[in-house]
Structure 1
Amino acid sequence: MTLMDFPARSFGVSTGPGVHIHGFELGPADGAPVVILHGLAGSAREFVQTALALPEFRTVLIDLRGHGRSTTRPGDLSREAFVADVVRVIESVVRAPVTLIGQSLGGHTAMLVAAARPDLVSRLVLLESGARGGSGDEHEHLGKYFRSWPLPFASRTTAQEFLGDGPLARAWVADLEERADGLWPRFEADVMVAAIKGVAAPRWDEWESIAVPTLVIYGENGIFAAEDKSEFCERGRRVQRVDLAGASHDSHLDAFHSWVAALRPFMGV
């Protein structure tokens, strides 16, 4: 599957010195706007199927800085930089308040955008996200895993054999970039570690300030402990919670139909 298989409209936005944010849109140009933010080491293409399941909406998919087709090695990987990128895209591309959806790192970013710029967010959807995410040891372990990839991969088959056949692995393989010497991921391990470290600090003040209707979705087999899920939802202001049976941290990939079934009613369709 390539982006050329869908009627996508690409765009690019400069958000600072040397930083280019790539994205694309699906759906009617006059539809109610939705912006979706992927997780760490992901890309916008992970949510193409979600966009296609929301045909009534103008869905804007963003490659976050350091990911996908956006700038690979931005100088600033702070939470504030990620937030500023999303604000810039909404203001310059969408130009209207949006339903903002984010998964994992993208969910944390979406939460901070909604807190910083409530005028730009009419509804919020957080998939497998919380006020903070992971410890330093967990982040370093993640970096060690990414650095273990035998790059470049000679072929997609070789990549699949190494990465496995799970939904997330298939998404990584599908998004590999073809270069003269082989296939490379559209992210770099050290950039991912630096990006995720910013999520370690709790952001309860921002979360508790958000007043828009919010849907919080967890996978039954996701990364959050039961007590962390409960605390997060209880400390929110207008929160609806949905748990997806049998789903993982990447519920949009491995529990797609359940994910969409939870999403569409919240969005009024």
Structure 2
Amino acid sequence: MDRTVLRSDGVWIAVTDLGGDGPTVVLLHGLAGSSRELLPTAHALSGYRVLLVDQRGHGASTRLPDDLSRDAFVGDVVAVIEELVPGRRATLVGQSMGAHTAFLVAAARPDLVEGLVMLEGHVAGNGDPGEAAGLGSYFESWPVPFEDEAAARGFLGDDAIVNAWVADLLQTDDGLVPRFDASVMQRTIEAVHEPRWQEWEALQVPTLAVFAKHGMFGDADKDELVRRRPETERVDLADGSHDAHLDAFDEWTDVLHHWLSRDQTGPLRPSGR
């Protein structure tokens, strides 16, 4: 079921609600993505009430919000939980930027969160302003509108995320265009690049950090995350890129299933530590 949540700043947040009476799981996509790319993960979670959120500036949510602060993203998720599953706590599962959003929600509102899963996410930030500018320039370089899907694939290449990007393109009279704005993506990731160690070290909810073999983060980054918060469980996948929810799907969902059912099956054995 497609639902929307209206925020006080006039931003609409689009949510896909798969229904059900089981424990609530909220799925949060990465930068320049949408909840559509997490639908396979959602459908693998039988027995759960799954909500997939298009974060502001993405997917079917408001494309050009004025407020792109991390607090705004956090407030959106809080509003979704309070409005759509009132009186219930949720497990937050996020990838990349979505993992960062999920972590900040868990830090700000532990009363609403019973667990946190971060796939290819981190809290250390990035001190290089050129990184965010480079991402903005890349998205700005897309020669849109694309004439058709073949033209889009010809430009975008064959990385794991490309299928998701192409599936998300919006058909207009002139051709296919992305459902996000390049400048919004740059401003969004600039905020994500601010280090948030204080919130991480104070985090109180059970947490799983999942990293892909060919992901974005090196061993030092992964080790530091756990060193600063030793109670964090960590799993290193045997395969996959930064978009492991797409190209290491079976392993990713196996790990997620096991952790969500940890009260019955016991804790995971963290790897790569």
Q: TM-score, normalised by structure 2?
A: 0.93
Residue 166 of structure 2 is aligned to residue 176 of structure 1: no
Instruction: Give the whole-Å Cα distance in 1 for the aligned partners of 2:115 and 2:239.
Output: 26
Assess if the C-alpha contact under 8 Å between 1:133 and 1:200 holds in 2: yes
1:33-182 equivalences under 5 Å are 33-95=24-86, 96-134=88-126, 135-182=128-175
| Structure 1 ranges of 4+ moved more than 3 A | none
Deviations 1:182-219 (A, max 9, x none): 11111111000000000121111111111221110011
Assess if the C-alpha contact under 8 Å between 2:34 and 2:59 holds in 1: yes
Q: Percent identity between the aligned chains?
A: 51
Higher mean displacement: 236-245 or 112-121? 236-245
Amino acid at match of 1:264: H
Counterpart for residue 228 of structure 1: 221
Higher mean displacement: 12-21 or 191-200? 12-21
Assess if the C-alpha contact under 8 Å between 2:115 and 2:206 holds in 1: yes
Instruction: Give the whole-Å Cα distance in 2 for the aligned partners of 1:52 and 1:205.
Output: 35
Structure 1 residue ranges without an equivalent (≥5): 1-8
1:179-190 equivalences under 5 Å are 179-190=172-183
Assess if the C-alpha contact under 8 Å between 1:212 and 1:238 holds in 2: no
CA RMSD of aligned residues (A): 1.1
Q: TM-score, normalised by structure 1?
A: 0.94
Give the C-alpha shift of residue 74 in structure 1.
0.2
1:231-242 equivalences under 5 Å are 231-242=224-235
Instruction: Give the whole-Å Cα distance in 1 for the aligned partners of 2:221 and 2:157.
Output: 30
Residue 13 of structure 2 is aligned to residue 21 of structure 1: yes
Instruction: Give the whole-Å Cα distance in 1 for the aligned partners of 2:144 and 2:114.
Output: 42
Assess if the C-alpha contact under 8 Å between 2:20 and 2:47 holds in 1: no
Deviations 1:29-55 (A, max 9, x none): 211110011010010001000011101
Structure 2 residue ranges without an equivalent (≥5): 263-273
SS in structure 1 opposite 2:237? strand
Give the C-alpha shift of residue 249 in structure 1.
0.8
Amino acid at match of 1:149: W
Deviations 1:62-115 (A, max 9, x none): 000000000000000000000000000010012210011111111111111001
Match of 2:195 among 202, 217, 220: 202
Instruction: Give the whole-Å Cα distance in 1 for the aligned partners of 2:153 and 2:224.
Output: 38
Cα distance 1:202–1:133, how it changes in 2: closer, same or farther (>3 A)? Answer: closer
Give the C-alpha shift of residue 237 in structure 1.
4.9
Greater strand proportion: 1
Give the C-alpha shift of residue 246 in structure 1.
2.6
Instruction: Give the whole-Å Cα distance in 2 for the aligned partners of 1:253 and 1:236.
Output: 28
Counterpart for residue 218 of structure 1: 211
